[in-house]
Chain A
Amino acid sequence: MTTDLKKSLLLHGAVLAVLFASQFVLPAYHHGNLARVMILASYAMGYNLLFGYTGLLSLGHALFFAAGLYGMGLAMSQFDVGAGPALVCGVIAGTLVGAVIGMLALRTEGVAFMIVTLMFAQAGYLTILYFGTYTRGDEGFVIAQPDRVLLGLDLSDPTVRFFAAFTVFCIALIMCLAVVKSRFGKVLIAIRENEDRTQMLGYDVTRYKFSAVVLSASLSALAGAAYGILFGYVGASFASVQYSIFPLLWVLLGGAGTVLGPLIGTLFMFYLIDLSSGITTAYMLIAGVVLVLLTVFAPQGILGELRRRVWKWLP
């Protein structure tokens, strides 16, 4: 068991080292992309905690991402809060929304859970549009450069932004690794594998699932708040159903229930669209074919397949 732990620490450390180093080697275009991918991957990791590890498929995570985004953005635009406290507001907003949704949606299971989360997210999206006076609706609002200074660092500067994104990603990665290795995380996996059995081992399954929803929402909200600050824009499109489907797609591609799967999936999808749109305007056709091939030949995602074949120890 301990050698597995060493291998896992080595692998995740190496991934972080590569990401860190890529700042110095990648051309500006890719290095901006990578900053974006790292934030979105953190969002996907939050999603993965609930979907990949606990086995709860939510179709409404955009609500949590948007709660972070708007919690941060509105704190800034309406209350003139600084970047640091605004970020905290975003995470708190996401956590609270997660708690409320968790309490309501966990009364359902399976398909009903998917529908209920989807409906709440749509309601959230429409709420943002309804309060257009403050949220500026579809058009959204820009976070001006002077507001994007945290601890004396200008987050609109590409290099600083990259390291800020890297920091958020590190937080997400370490948090996920810690959860997965913990007693709590092992109970979540047990719930995914056999909920009935887990309950009949004396675990309060509902309480664990609720904690998973809240944790997942907090991480998604952190990613949302960071996204708004780093890229300077808050808009309703991030609350749309598309942004609920994205993390599902990324996690499925990369490997549900693997810590690094969300990063691989997000990176893969991002560059798949980026590269194929360089070839043809019908880029979704290429992307679609690749996705179909992947689901046929690696139904457990890229890392899920790797774990099944070679790296059994992958967390």
Chain B
Amino acid sequence: MSALTAQGLSKHFNGLVAVEDVTFEVPPGQVRALIGPNGAGKTTLVGMLSGRIVPSSGRVTFDGDDVTNWPAHKRIASGIGYTFQITSIFPNLSVWENVALAARRALSTPASVSQVVATSLSRVGLVDRQAEDAGDLSYGHQRLLEIAMGLAQAPKLLILDEPTQGLAEGEVTAFIELIAELSGETTVLLIEHNMDVVMQVSDFVTVLEAGRVLFEGSPDEVKASAEVQSAYLGGDDAAA
């Protein structure tokens, strides 16, 4: 059984086609990268998967349930973790409380919340910043905080929208290790522009162009595909 499927998903904004007839499946435990040029419809697509955006047509199933008509909060509560493309945290609350809010929904005791918060923060390396206001963190650290908030929910599926944007090189390496740790237990759907990251972490890649699936295959196949090269990578030396 697939962890997540999209069947014929389309989204039209007043006649503008953002996503057109996208069908794909993500098996459990897979790290799936979603790539494509700007405006290809990646964020709209994951918006429909997470419930933020109502599709014009098509169906979404998650973990065996047809979730097409579920509101976003219900999908999240059923095990989808979501991080925003544009960092969305609680800037006036402490780093600790940010993660605690994510953990608290599913947990009943304060002790278990503290424990999950501690683990999540240490996985992204923000433990020593936990008392600070989240808004005082650097942009890169705010991205990491958002990932920690995703982890704290112990999701079955983690959707990450450009998680490495704005991260320093060392932090990107740490992120790659983090995803490697997650793979197998958590299904990950990753929108990513950094091709190094895509090549290193993903098991499978879906390429989107102009709202449609252009190509699907292993990272190596994507690299080798002439179609993808011309549509997205722009030439054979653009992968770097």
B78: min CB distance to chain A, Å: 8
Q: List 6 A-B contacts (CB under 8 A).
A: A186-B101, A194-B89, A199-B76, A200-B76, A201-B101, A204-B74
Residue contact B76 to A187, C-beta cutoff 8 Å: no
Q: Are the C-beta atoms of B153 and A193 separated by less than 8 Å?
A: no
Are B88 and A202 in contact (CB-based, < 8 A)? no
- Residues facing A in B180-223 (CB within 8 A) are none
Does A196 sit at the interface, judged by CB under 8 A? Answer: yes
Main secondary structure of the interface of A (DSSP, over half): helix
Q: Which chain A residue has the least Cβ–Cβ distance from B149?
A: A201
Bound: A200/B77 CA distance, A: 9
Which residues of chain B are within 8 angstroms of A186 by Cβ–Cβ distance? Answer: 97, 100-101, 104
**Is the beta-carbon distance between A197 and B88 smaller than 8 angstroms?**
yes
Contact B104 A183 (CB under 8 A): yes
**In the complex, how many angstroms separate the beta carbon of B134 from the nearest chain A beta carbon?**
9
Q: Which residues of B contact A (CB under 8 A)?
A: 50, 52, 71-74, 76-77, 82, 84, 88-93, 97, 100-102, 104-106, 149, 153
Task: Verify B90–A202 contact, CB threshold 8 A.
Answer: no
* C-alpha spacing A194/B84, complex, angstroms: 13
A103 to chain B, nearest CB (A): 17
Question: A205: CB under 8 A from chain B?
Answer: yes
In the complex, what residue of chain A is closest to B133 when comparing beta carbons? A312
The 7 closest A-B pairs by CB, nearest first: A202-B76, A202-B77, A193-B90, A197-B88, A204-B73, A202-B105, A200-B82
Query: Residues of B contacting A203 with CB < 8 Å?
Result: 73, 105
Give the nearest-CB partner of A193 in chain B: B90
Known contacts A197-B90, A201-B101, A204-B73; 19 additional CB pairs below 8 A are: A183-B104, A186-B97, A186-B100, A186-B101, A190-B90, A190-B101, A197-B84, A199-B72, A199-B73, A200-B52, A200-B73, A201-B102, A201-B149, A202-B74, A202-B76, A202-B77, A202-B105, A202-B153, A203-B73
A83 touches B (CB below 8 Å): no
Chain B residues in 8 Å Cβ range of A187 = 101
Q: Is the CB of A193 within 8 A of B76?
A: no
State whether A193 and B91 are in contact (beta carbons under 8 Å apart), knowing that A201-B105, A203-B105, A204-B73 are contacts in the complex.
Answer: yes
Contacts of A183 in B (CB 8 A): 104
B93, A193: Cβ atoms closer than 8 Å? yes
Q: Which has the most chain B C-beta neighbours within 10 Å: A186, A199, A200, A205? A: A200
A50 interface residue per 8 A CB criterion? no
**With a CB–CB cut-off of 8 A, which chain A residues contact B149?**
201
Bound state CA distance, A205 and B89, in angstroms? 16
Cβ of B92: which chain A residues have Cβ within 8 Å of it?
193
Q: Give CA–CA (A128, B110) in the complex, Å.
A: 47
Determine the distance from Cα of A202 to Cα of B153 in the docked complex, in whole angstroms.
9
State A199–B100 Cα separation when bound (angstroms).
15
A211: interface (CB < 8 Å): no
Residues on A with beta carbons closer than 8 Å to the beta carbon of B106: 202
Q: Which residue of B lies closest to A198 (CB)?
A: B101
Asked if A44 is at the interface (CB within 8 A of a chain B CB), the reply is no
Nearest A residue to B103, CB-CB? A201
In the complex, A308 Cα to B76 Cα: how many Å?
Answer: 34
Whether B93 lies near A200 (C-beta < 8 A) is no
